Amino acid sequence: MTQQDPRIAQRYAAQPSPWPKVFLAVGLALSVLLAVWLAWAVWVHSTPEVTSDLTTWKVVDEHSVNATVQVDLRSGAKDPQCLLRAYAEDHTVVGDASFVPTGGRNDVTIRTERLATSVEKIGCTTASQNDAR
């Protein structure tokens, strides 16, 4: 084999580009940030401060409905509010009731304009939980 002149090797040899390492580092950093954000979002949305469930409702008369709502409050929940809505046979809203829940069973009376045929739980929120659950 013949030996190459070091000047020719220095002049024509391909130098490794730094860009693949830069792209790899940036991609890795973005992947880590995305994973951290995704973990945070999953945790925040899976552990709400308040959840509720409409267990029963009964039409009392033409102008009122009684509803029972089971509310689960996490300790430290600030300013919880719940909303129930009553509908008539033609699907128009005939009444609603907003109340401050206590943990456990809550009995609520909804005053209505006319006879209600169904009740919907809109949900409960707190000062730091905007989506009703």
Q: What is the pLDDT of residue 76?
A: 80
The percentage of residues in the chain with a pLDDT greater than 70, rounded to a whole number, is 95
64 neighbors 94 (Cβ within 8 angstroms): no
The alpha carbon of residue 13 and the mean position of all alpha carbons in its chain are separated, in whole angstroms, by 57
Taking the CA atoms of residue 14, residue 16, residue 19 and residue 21 in that order, the dihedral angle to the nearest 10 degrees is 160
Q: What is the pLDDT of residue 87?
A: 97
Q: What is the pLDDT of residue 36?
A: 97
Does the pLDDT value for residue 33 go beyond 70?
yes
Does the pLDDT value for residue 1 go beyond 60?
no
Angle at 82 between CA 79 and CA 85, to 5 degrees: 155
Dist. CA 5–CA 2, nearest whole Å:
10
48 neighbors 85 (Cβ within 8 angstroms): no
pLDDT in tens, 8-30: 767 776 677 888 899 999 999 99
Q: Which residue(s) pair with 37 in the sheet?
A: none
Q: What is the pLDDT of residue 128?
A: 86
Dist. CA 126–CA 44, nearest whole Å:
14
Q: What is the mean pLDDT of the chain?
A: 90
Count CB atoms within 10 A of the CB of residue 113: 13
- Predicted TM-score (pTM) of the model is 0.71
Q: What is the pLDDT of residue 114?
A: 94
